[in-house]
């Protein structure tokens, strides 16, 4: 592995650091309290526009569609430096990280010209409409249907767990257009207007108090055929483009997530019946375990970066990292709250214990979002270790003959 920047990369990193020091001056420290949703949206749009004007959006995208035409390493360097701040970026991570690359890869030049520039400027927010109540990890089992009607398609069905759907202007939706084809071969993807007649978005209340996820209902929603992405029946192939970008977007450790140092700080500050928590052997062992996991994640990511820097395609690093990241965050957070006992319920705003409390509430979802632990372990087993694949008896069966779970 190569841990060092090339001369050109070092120059780019210095440029980014200097720009962030000025442009993100108000975000160099964490906010005193979490932003309300509307404030978060306003700040996110302002930051996205500021990045656009400085030329730090679409870094790897072709110049022909408004990107910078640079290498993945340039994007990674910018992400690394941006992650040292507390700027709001989550509103656009799905749209720019997953949806828009699918749009300009599989949409017509006219469609790309219409949607890409506004997405880059942050004028329009996008969401990804994939999961359904009976089709989460098994995406090919979706039942939301689209029926051709002249030069339009009529969509009916339901999606769930759609992040920021209630704040999105557009989305990409995978539908079933042929119920008599095998489940992977009867899908088609479209761009849908989130404010179109027949669209209903219902926020899901989370135990943290927020509502980032949503249920989305389609009732006779009409979409023009020009807004189809890829060929009819090729929705699975198009979805793989989205999922490939999703692995890159959510495969690593979330920005500003707690780590072993956070747990160490809490252990140093807590007093137990037998003395300071840090003096207990089981506590020290748990901190050591967390450190090993954190370092393993960091070094695995460095392996992927080294491959990119040599012009190679990274291997299974993202799947491995995500499995370890999600479980480590959940286990570490649960241990810290158990250690704090009743103090884990009433925490001081901005404290390390508050970070771990927040991590405890969303880390379980991280083990589902972007691919469940089970799906990722299958990928690692089959594509990395070369183990025999799962039996898939429904692979060639017409979808109409399959019974829902």
SS3 at position 190: strand
Residue-wise pLDDT tens digits, 115-160? 999 999 999 999 999 999 988 778 899 999 999 999 999 999 999 9
Contact 387, 381 (CB under 8 A): yes
The residue whose two tokens read 């072709």 is 62
Q: What DSSP assignment string belongs to 67-78?
A: -----HHHHHHH
**Residue numbers annotated as active site:** 246
Q: Is 392 left (phi over 0), alpha (psi -120 to 50) or beta?
A: beta
Q: What whole-number distance in Å separates Cα of residue 90 and Cα of residue 332?
A: 23
As given in the structure block, the two tokens for residue 154 are 């009529």
Residue-wise pLDDT tens digits, 48-107? 999 999 999 999 999 999 999 998 889 889 998 999 999 999 999 999 999 999 999 999
Residue-wise pLDDT tens digits, 269-327? 998 888 899 999 999 999 999 999 999 888 887 777 676 666 665 566 667 888 888 89
Q: In the CATH hierarchy, which fold is given to the domain comprising 251-371?
A: Butyryl-CoA Dehydrogenase, subunit A; domain 3 (1.20.140)
- Assess whether pLDDT exceeds 80 at residue 171: yes
Q: Which residues contact 284 (CB under 8 A, 6 or more apart)?
A: 267, 278
Q: What number is the average pLDDT over the span 242-259?
A: 68
- Assess whether pLDDT exceeds 90 at residue 181: yes
Q: Tell me, what's the pLDDT at 128?
A: 96
Residues of the chain with CATH 1.20.140.10: 251-371
Residues of the chain with CATH 2.40.110.10: 127-245
Question: Does the domain at residues 127-245 carry the CATH identifier 3.30.30.60?
Answer: no
- Assess whether pLDDT exceeds 60 at residue 248: no
Q: What whole-number distance in Å separates Cα of residue 251 and Cα of residue 287?
A: 23
* C-alpha 300: how far from chain center: 19
Q: What whole-number distance in Å separates Cα of residue 112 and Cα of residue 201?
A: 26
Q: What number is the average pLDDT over the span 356-368?
A: 85
As given in the structure block, the two tokens for residue 96 are 């720019």
185: which DSSP letter? T
């Amino acid at each position: 592995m190569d841990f060092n920047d090339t001369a050109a990369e070092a120059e780019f990193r210095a440029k980014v650091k200097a720009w962030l020091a000025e442009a993100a001056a108000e975000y160099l420290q964490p906010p005193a309290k979490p932003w309300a949703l509307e404030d978060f949206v306003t700040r996110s749009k302002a930051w996205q526009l500021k990045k656009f004007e400085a030329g730090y959006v679409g870094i790897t995208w072709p110049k022909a569609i408004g990107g910078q035409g640079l290498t993945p390493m340039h994007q990674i360097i910018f992400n690394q430096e941006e992650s040292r701040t507390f700027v709001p970026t989550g509103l656009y991570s799905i749209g720019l990280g997953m949806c828009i690359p699918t749009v300009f890869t599989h949409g017509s030049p006219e469609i790309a010209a219409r949607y890409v520039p506004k997405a880059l400027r942050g004028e329009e927010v996008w969401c990804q409409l994939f999961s359904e109540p009976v089709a989460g990890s098994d995406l090919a089992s979706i039942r939301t249907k689209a029926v051709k009607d002249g030069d339009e398609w009529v969509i009916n069905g339901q999606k769930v767990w759609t992040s920021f759907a209630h704040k999105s202007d557009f989305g990409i939706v995978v539908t079933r257009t042929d119920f008599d084809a095998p489940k992977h071969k009867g899908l088609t993807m479209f761009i849908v207007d989130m404010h179109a007649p027949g669209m209903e978005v219902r926020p899901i209340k989370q135990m943290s108090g927020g509502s980032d996820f949503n249920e989305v209902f389609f009732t006779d929603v009409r979409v023009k055929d020009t807004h189809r992405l890829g060929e009819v029946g090729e929705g699975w192939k198009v979805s793989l483009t989205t999922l490939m970008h999703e692995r890159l977007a959510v495969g690593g450790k979330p920005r500003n997530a707690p780590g072993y140092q956070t747990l160490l700080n809490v252990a140093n500050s807590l007093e137990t019946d037998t003395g300071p928590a840090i003096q207990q052997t089981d506590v020290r062992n748990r901190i050591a375990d967390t450190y090993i996991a954190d370092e393993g994640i960091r070094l695995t990511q460095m392996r992927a970066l080294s491959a990119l820097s040599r012009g190679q395609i990274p291997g299974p690093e993202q799947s491995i990292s995500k499995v370890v990241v999600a479980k480590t965050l959940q286990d570490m957070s649960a241990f810290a709250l158990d250690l704090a006992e009743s103090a884990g319920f009433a925490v001081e705003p901005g404290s390390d214990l508050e970070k771990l409390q927040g991590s405890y509430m969303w880390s379980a979802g991280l083990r589902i979002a972007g691919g469940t632990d089970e799906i990722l372990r299958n990928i690692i087993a089959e594509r990395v270790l070369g183990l025999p694949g799962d039996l898939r008896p429904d692979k060639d069966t017409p979808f109409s003959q399959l019974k829902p779970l």
